[in-house]
Amino acid sequence: MKRKIIVFLPLMLILSICILLFISLHNDPKKIASALVGKPIPEFYQANLLDPEQGLSPKSLPKGAYLLNVWGSWCAYCKQEHPFLMKLHQQGVPIVGLNYRDQRQNALQMLQQMGNPFSLVMDDSKGLLAMKLGVDGAPETYLVDRQGIIRYRYSGPLNEQIWQQQFLPLWAE
């Protein structure tokens, strides 16, 4: 009997691991569940990247719906999505930038060279607000509604297809 258990237990463990791996392979890694979806933006006090003397808090954020985009000048995917953010900005979509774990001068240089799609840009060089948001990396984009509630979170570079399929239906609500 003990011999059967010794053989059977490892087989069940291996089978369980295989099933979990199979399930995880079919999940979209870009669609990350967030504990904050359905909850308000967490409290914060961050420096304004463009004017470090100015502090920003949730009261500084747009009153209507907006996108919160986590980015860094060191991030190749952020540079890839930047032209699309500029397009959204030109279409009147309010975007708040959260400059994540970056050096201020490098971030300012990127915005000067590529344009600034953000209505305001928070300096999160230490990653404190990003930690409260549960940021895994950059870029990440959050859809925040008129009441300041996070409605959606996307990890990866934003583009036209993702905007149309995943953000726009929620934006219209």
Q: 136 and 32 in contact (C-beta within 8 Å)?
A: yes
Report residue 36's pLDDT band, with 50, 70 and 90 as the boundaries.
confident
Percent helix, strand, coil in the chain (nearest 5)? 40, 20, 40
Q: Where are the domains of the chain?
A: 30-171
In the structure encoding, which two tokens stand for residue 27, read together?
Answer: 């999940």
Q: 49 and 75 in contact (C-beta within 8 Å)?
A: no
Closest C-alpha among 126, 143, 120, 125 to residue 36: 143
List C-alpha distances in Å: 6 to 2, 13, 19, 69: 6, 11, 21, 52
Q: Is the pLDDT of residue 7 over 80?
A: no
Higher-confidence position of 8 and 48:
48
- Residue 77, class by beta-carbon neighbours within 10 Å (0-12 exposed, 13-18 middle, 19+ buried)? middle
Q: What is the pLDDT of residues 128-140, one digit of tens each?
A: 999 999 999 999 9
pLDDT on residue 29: 46
**Mean pLDDT value across the chain:** 89
CATH architecture of 30-171: 3-Layer(aba) Sandwich (3.40)
Q: What is the pLDDT of residues 49-86, one digit of tens each?
A: 999 999 999 999 999 999 999 999 999 999 999 999 99
